[in-house]
Amino acid sequence: MAVTFDLSGKSAIVTGGGRGIGRAIALGLAGAGASVAVCGRTQKELDGVADEIRKLGGKALPVVADLTVNDQLENLVNAAIKEFERIDILVNNAARSFLRSLLDLREDGWDKVFNTNVKAVWLLSRAVARRMIEQKSGKIINITTVGAEKAEVGMAAYGCSKAALKMLTRCMAREWASYGINVNAVGPGLTRTDFSKPIWSNPDIARHVAAMIPKGRIAEPEEIVSSVLFLASDAADYITGHTIYVDGGTLTT
């Protein structure tokens, strides 16, 4: 059997595709031949990524959408279907976090994190899965984190939301396997993006953190892409319900 990560003729949605890891994933999918819809709340960033994809010779669709607003979420799915006729790959990458101790975290902060990182993923995946069921195939990839496994001070809402996302990945995998839909997750360790800038932009903190990672450094966004391409490809047709950690060995400590 020939193993290939070729995604020619496939179309994808990448949430939070305007910057950071989502941008790298969108460019990676396009590089493998997929047409890509990128969504987020910042038009300028989405237009920038769409331009980069078009310069690579690919097809791109920037869609401004706040995924915590149902109408905007539905509009994203409809826009992608209208442009590409089908959705083969959904990458649930968008997320938010607050650095706050459990004693100081406010109730609305907890809700905002869970609404974005868990509820919106379920609602978008459900909307897309209904199309994938008609197609009898599809790949859904959720971006989690090592923080789903390790308790970090000040990151409780985020860590709990990503642990829930890991279980949501398994539940969707179990319920939708018979429709030809595979659902897996990729869990990065600390990666150089705006999200983690307070850590890597401070030399003292950055040195301390790097020393705790067996590989001795944090990841670059591009290093998260290959596992997503693998899970999106036909090569992963018999893999569902799992999480691949891309963490430089962090979870061995």
Ligand X SMILES: NC(=O)c1ccc[n+]([C@@H]2O[C@H](COP(=O)([O-])OP(=O)(O)OC[C@H]3O[C@@H](n4cnc5c(N)ncnc54)[C@H](OP(=O)(O)O)[C@@H]3O)[C@@H](O)[C@H]2O)c1
Which residues bind to ligand X, rule: CB under 6 A? 15-16, 18-22, 39-42, 45, 65-68, 93-96, 116, 143, 145, 188, 190-191, 193-196
Q: Is 245 helix (H, G, I), strand (E, B) or coil?
A: strand
Question: Diameter of the chain by CA atoms?
Answer: 55
In the complex, minimum distance from the CB of residue 79 to ligand X, in angstroms, rounded to a whole number: 14
Residues composing the chain: 253
179 by DSSP, 3-state: which? helix
Q: How many CB atoms lie within 10 A of CB 197?
A: 11
Least distance (Å) from ligand X to the CB of residue 144? 7
What CA–CA distances, in Å, run from 235 to 31, 139, 191, 238? 17, 12, 26, 8
CB closer to ligand X out of 35 and 191: 191
Q: Which is nearer to ligand X, 6 or 149 (CB)?
A: 149
* CB 102 to ligand X: min, Å: 19
Closer by beta carbon to ligand X, 173 or else 218: 218
Residue number closest to ligand X, CB atom: 20
> Facing residues of 63 across strands?
39
Residue 21 or 80 with smaller CB distance to ligand X: 21
> With 0-12 CB in 10 A as exposed, 13-18 as middle and 19+ as buried, what is 101?
exposed
Active site residue 238: no
Report the alpha-carbon distance of residue 59 to residue 82 in Å, rounded.
13
Active-site residue (options: 158, 179, 238, 245): 158
Q: How far is the CB of 43 from ligand X (least distance, A)?
A: 8
List residues with catalytic annotation. 158
